[in-house]
């Protein structure tokens, strides 16, 4: 990293308002929940006598409910305010994670993960608009902060899951409940109260209506296809590796560190060189190549592929999020909800189908090949914008400076 880039990053992270840091901390813990169960999937399967198709439902229920709930986040935030929305989401996560630690069956875990997903939906979409609205340094700085939280959460989630899961599969859930309780206390005590009256009314279907915008729709569907591939790596790799919790946790810790580094440091450089749209097309094609490499029957190759894929995921997470938040004139909470609806729908479908794809095709690594195809389709959709010959629309227009909900 050059001196000028280091200076720019210091400026991004220096002097941010307290509300931004508290929300970012809570976001780290929330994103930990995505990869938390990854190292303990096989432990849960063994302890509760469940098969891969059952334990991968821990991703499906979590993401499936989160997808549907994304449609109500804008309306909820507009009616009750951003702080109440954030706090409500955190309360649900604390209750769900604590109950997960006490669950006695896979069915109970799947149901509780659904409640967890509801809380995450209320929190994640609102947190993004809060950070964008409150951060100093403009939208680009806010996106970098948000993606840094995502990367740190994704890297520490598997590590925490491995360390506590090595004691008991219940440990990671209890640990997350404690950390989320801390985030909840900080949010209640230190985030500014919602000022003024209610925000502009937001209908339940407004996030879907926002997707009528062609560029936002292409960005959102492309993100859904990429996210399907992303969760193929996250949900299926532990079953192909067949390693213990500590080994899987360390592998995905390295993967998460790569996500954080690429999202904060490399993504802006790629966007400056090729534009956000062009950079996204290049990165999603690279992700397809990596997934094809993962089909090679070698655990060493798979481990390297997982870790390196973290770099590409960091690029794509930042580029997709930046595009979605600036490409249309929809209020940011509405655009965020519509985008996240598509994004996490891809993850939910992948987590549900991944084990079945391996069974149907009678090839343990088949899900990686299917994920590669999804990335190729995503690249084709995004390339439509490049072929149009118009200026890259993935820039922050003046009209996008209006934030639908702020503290």
CA distance 165 to 384: 45
Range name among 23-32, 132-141, 278-287 with the lowest pLDDT average: 132-141
Range name among 274-278, 336-340, 373-377 with the lowest pLDDT average: 336-340
User: What whole-number percentage of the chain has pLDDT above 90?
Assistant: 33
Nearest to 230 by CA among 321, 318, 291, 143: 291
* Band of residue 57 on the pLDDT scale cut at 50, 70, 90: confident
Question: How much is the pLDDT for 393?
Answer: 43
When comparing pLDDT for 132 and 82, which is higher?
A: 82
Yes or no: domain 3-191+202-400 corresponds to CATH 1.20.1250.20: yes
Task: Express each pLDDT in 74-113 by its tens digit.
Answer: 778 778 888 888 899 999 999 999 999 999 899 999 999 9
Question: How much is the pLDDT for 286?
Answer: 97
Question: How much is the pLDDT for 339?
Answer: 87
- For the chain, helix (H) and strand (E) counts, in that order, are 16, 0
- Model confidence, pTM: 0.80
Contact 256, 360 (CB under 8 A): no
CA distance 267 to 277: 12
Q: Any idea of the CA torsion for 170, 176, 182, 188, to the nearest 10 degrees?
A: -110
The Cβ of residue 87 has, within 10 Å, a number of other Cβ atoms equal to 20
Range name among 13-27, 163-177, 211-225 with the lowest pLDDT average: 13-27
278 HSE (CA, 13 A, CB side): 15
* Band of residue 400 on the pLDDT scale cut at 50, 70, 90: very low
| Token reading at 9 | 């990053």
Question: How much is the pLDDT for 7?
Answer: 58
Q: DSSP label at 49?
A: T
Residue 312 has pLDDT above 60, yes or no: yes
Task: Give the largest Cα separation in the chain, rounded.
Answer: 60
CA distance 337 to 215: 16
**Mean pLDDT in the chain?**
83
78 HSE (CA, 13 A, CB side): 20
End-to-end alpha-carbon separation of the chain, Å? 34
The Cβ of residue 68 has, within 10 Å, a number of other Cβ atoms equal to 15
* Band of residue 394 on the pLDDT scale cut at 50, 70, 90: very low
Cα–Cα distances (Å) from 138 to 132, 370, 398, in that order, read: 7, 38, 12
When comparing pLDDT for 382 and 407, which is higher?
A: 382
Residues 6+ apart with CB under 8 A from 200: 78, 331, 404
* Band of residue 402 on the pLDDT scale cut at 50, 70, 90: very low
Range name among 17-26, 123-132, 174-183, 282-291 with the lowest pLDDT average: 123-132
Task: Express each pLDDT in 183-213 by its tens digit.
Answer: 899 888 877 776 544 556 667 778 888 888 8
* Band of residue 392 on the pLDDT scale cut at 50, 70, 90: very low
Task: Express each pLDDT in 223-281 by its tens digit.
Answer: 999 999 999 998 899 889 989 888 988 999 899 889 888 988 899 899 889 888 889 99
Alpha-carbon Rg for the chain, nearest whole angstrom, is: 20
Q: Any idea of the CA torsion for 79, 180, 62, 232, to the nearest 10 degrees?
A: 120
Task: Express each pLDDT in 133-158 by its tens digit.
Answer: 677 666 667 777 877 787 788 888 88
The Cβ of residue 401 has, within 10 Å, a number of other Cβ atoms equal to 11
Question: How much is the pLDDT for 227?
Answer: 95
């Amino acid at each position: 990293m050059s001196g000028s880039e280091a200076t720019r990053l210091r400026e991004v992270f220096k002097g941010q308002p307290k509300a931004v840091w508290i929300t970012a901390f809570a976001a780290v813990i929330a994103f930990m929940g995505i990869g938390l169960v990854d190292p303990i999937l096989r432990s849960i399967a063994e302890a509760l006598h469940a098969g891969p198709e059952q334990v991968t439902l821990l991703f499906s229920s979590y993401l499936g409910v989160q997808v549907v709930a994304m449609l109500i986040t804008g309306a909820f935030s507009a009616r009750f305010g951003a702080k109440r929305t954030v706090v409500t989401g955190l309360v649900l996560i604390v209750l769900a994670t604590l109950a997960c630690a006490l669950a006695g069956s896979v069915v109970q875990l799947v149901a509780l993960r659904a409640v967890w997903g509801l809380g995450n939906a209320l929190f994640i979409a609102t947190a993004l608009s809060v950070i964008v609205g409150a951060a100093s340094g403009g939208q680009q700085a806010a996106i970098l902060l948000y993606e840094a939280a995502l990367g740190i959460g994704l890297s520490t989630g598997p590590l925490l899951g491995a360390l506590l899961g090595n004691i008991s599969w219940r440990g990671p859930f209890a640990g997350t409940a404690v950390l989320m309780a801390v985030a909840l206390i900080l949010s209640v005590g230190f985030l500014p109260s919602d000022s003024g009256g209610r925000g502009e009314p937001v209908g339940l279907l407004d996030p879907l209506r926002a997707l009528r915008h062609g560029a936002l729709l292409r960005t959102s569907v492309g993100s859904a296809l990429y996210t399907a591939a992303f969760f193929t790596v996250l949900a299926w790799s532990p079953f192909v590796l067949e390693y213990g919790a500590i080994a899987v946790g360390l592998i995905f810790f390295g993967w998460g560190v790569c996500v954080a580094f690429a999202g904060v440091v490399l993504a802006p450089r790629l966007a400056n060189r090729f534009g956000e749209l062009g950079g996204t097309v290049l990165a999603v094609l690279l992700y397809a190549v990596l997934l094809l490499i993962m089909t090679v029957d070698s655990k060493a190759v798979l481990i390297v592929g997982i870790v390196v894929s973290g770099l590409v995921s960091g690029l794509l997470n930042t580029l997709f999020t930046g595009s979605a938040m600036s490409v249309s004139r929809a209020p940011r909470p509405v655009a965020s909800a519509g985008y996240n609806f598509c994004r996490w729908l891809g993850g939910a479908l992948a987590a549900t189908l991944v084990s079945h794809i391996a069974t149907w095709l009678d090839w343990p690594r088949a899900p990686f090949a299917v994920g590669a195809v999804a990335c190729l389709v995503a690249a084709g959709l995004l390339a439509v914008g490049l072929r149009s010959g118009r200026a890259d629309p993935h820039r922050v227009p003046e009209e996008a400076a209006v934030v639908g909900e702020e503290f």
